[in-house]
């Protein structure tokens, strides 16, 4: 089977593998589409089982970024970088510089930012060898760490999804199960707590669990079973593929809305969710706040402009839900269709110019 035959290959404009024996760098940069602007998406460092798993992630995530940016109405295309390795033990400044040089070799077609396994320091190191990096604190520029804005978008999106599914804008007493309380999940959970929600959380990291338990009064459960908690909202905010053949029949929540990428293990699982009467907020719509902040830094938007655009995520989700209900289709299909139509319209405009 060739790259072009893989189920997650979607006519990507380019897929490039990089190595650097001196630092141990093994990475893939996937550029899905640049119709709307330069491809933008974070670098993820993860101990993938093998190169095939890393490639699958890069292909899926880069396509998701194309759709995410289109749905957020940003002048950006979709791309993603993945580095094979454990960030806790394999990461070094030398490796980050090697990765930055690979990003730079694409001449601005791809702009990187933070993702899983990366932090502010890594971005600063990458920025010493390429200017095609954003989404971290830079003196004199708006934006910075995208996590708080991602969390705001998730919180805004949960409110919109609950309003549509449950008919209430009041979150007081709402039972929410947050899977993953790292930077995004914890901040979203904090806002939910302030709005009166009752929190159940799970996280593989003990310090994250303790922080949520002590500061938010959250009940802690196992990561393997949190999806099946008797709650109103299940909010996946860790890694993807949490909506699958095993979990979907066990979900008791009427709403699934969280910050994790690629929550549906496969597209057909969106139909399973619909059949269960669960309203699903498409992940790349609800978690768009981070890339909005990154885009704002690239183009010099004010903090107020970035926040206002992020708060429109609820409006966009309501449009998706309304159309999905009218057409009797899963919400992810409607969001995909809207994103594709926006990209197609931009392509047609370019051709006509």
Whether residue 106 is found in the same domain as residue 158: no
Whether residue 119 is found in the same domain as residue 214: no
Whether residue 205 is found in the same domain as residue 92: no
Name the average pLDDT for the chain: 95
Whether residue 118 is found in the same domain as residue 157: no
Whether residue 211 is found in the same domain as residue 327: yes
CATH number at residue 20: 3.40.50.10860
240 has pLDDT over 90: no
Within-domain flag for 133: no
pTM value is 0.91
142 has pLDDT over 90: no
Within-domain flag for 209: yes
When pLDDT is cut at 50, 70 and 90, the band that residue 232 belongs to is very high
Whether residue 174 is found in the same domain as residue 322: yes
The mean pLDDT of 309-314, rounded to a whole number, is 97
Whether residue 51 is found in the same domain as residue 153: no
Whether residue 102 is found in the same domain as residue 13: yes
Within-domain flag for 322: yes
Within-domain flag for 351: no
Within-domain flag for 310: no
Within-domain flag for 67: no
Within-domain flag for 68: no
Whether residue 116 is found in the same domain as residue 175: no
pLDDT digits (tens, 9 = 90+) for 19-61: 999 999 999 999 999 999 999 999 999 999 999 999 999 998 9
Q: Which residues are catalytic?
A: 80
CATH number at residue 197: 3.40.50.720
**SS3 string of the chain?**
CCHHHCCCCCCCCEEEEEEECCCCEEEEEEEEECCCCCEECCEEEECCCCHHHHHHHHHHHHHHHHHHHHHCCCCCEEEEEEEECCCCCCCCHHHHHHHHHHHHCCCCCEEECECCCCCHHHHHHHCCCCCCECCCCCCCCCCCCCHHHHHHHHHHHHHHHHHHHHCCCCCCCCEEEEECCCHHHHHHHHHHHHCCCEEEEECCCHHHHHHHHHHHCCEECCCCCHHHCCCCEEEECCCCCCECCCCHHHCCCCEECCCCCCCECCCCHHHHHHHCCCEECCHHHHCCHHHHHHHHHHHCCCHHHHHHHHHCHHHHHHHHHHHHHHHCCCHHHHHHHHHHHHHHHHHHHHHHC
Within-domain flag for 221: yes
Whether residue 12 is found in the same domain as residue 161: no
Whether residue 187 is found in the same domain as residue 331: yes
Identify the domain containing residue 86 by its residue range: 3-62+77-126
pLDDT digits (tens, 9 = 90+) for 171-214: 999 999 999 999 999 999 999 999 999 999 999 999 999 999 99
Specify the number of domains making up the chain: 2
What was the pLDDT predicted at 146?
A: 85
Whether residue 99 is found in the same domain as residue 167: no
């Amino acid at each position: 089977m060739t790259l072009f035959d893989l189920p997650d290959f979607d006519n990507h404009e380019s897929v490039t593998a990089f190595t650097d024996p001196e630092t141990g760098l093994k990475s893939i940069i996937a550029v899905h589409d640049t119709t709307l602007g330069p491809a933008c998406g974070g670098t993820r460092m993860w101990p993938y089982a093998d190169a095939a798993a890393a490639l699958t992630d890069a292909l899926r995530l880069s396509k998701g970024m194309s759709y995410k940016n289109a749905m957020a109405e940003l002048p950006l295309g979709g791309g993603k970088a993945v580095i094979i390795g454990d960030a806790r033990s394999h990461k070094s400044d030398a490796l980050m510089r090697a990765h930055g040089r690979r990003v730079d070799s694409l001449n601005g077609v791809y702009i990187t930012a933070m993702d899983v396994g990366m932090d502010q320091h890594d971005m600063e190191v990458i920025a010493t060898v390429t200017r095609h990096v954003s989404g971290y604190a830079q003196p004199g520029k708006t934006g910075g760490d995208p996590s708080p804005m991602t969390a705001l978008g998730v919180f805004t999106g949960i409110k919109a999804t609950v309003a549509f599914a449950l008919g209430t804008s009041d979150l007081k007493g709402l039972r929410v199960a947050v899977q993953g309380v790292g930077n995004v999940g914890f901040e979203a959970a904090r806002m939910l707590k302030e709005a009166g929600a009752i929190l159940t959380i799970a996280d593989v990291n003990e310090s994250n669990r303790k922080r949520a338990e002590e500061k938010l009064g959250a009940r802690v459960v196992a990561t393997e079973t949190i999806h099946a908690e008797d709650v109103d909202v299940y909010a996946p905010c860790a890694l993807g593929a949490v909506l699958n053949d095993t979990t979907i029949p066990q979900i008791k929540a009427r709403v699934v809305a969280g910050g994790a990428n690629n929550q549906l293990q496969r597209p057909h699982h969106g139909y399973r969710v619909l059949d269960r009467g669960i309203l699903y907020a498409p992940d790349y719509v609800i978690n768009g706040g981070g890339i909005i902040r990154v885009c704002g830094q690239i183009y010099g938007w004010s903090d107020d402009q970035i926040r206002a655009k992020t708060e429109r995520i609820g409006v966009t989700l309501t449009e998706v839900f309304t159309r999905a209900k009218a057409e009797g289709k899963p919400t992810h299909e409607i969001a995909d269709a809207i994103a594709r139509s926006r990209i197609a319209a931009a392509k047609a405009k370019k051709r006509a110019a």
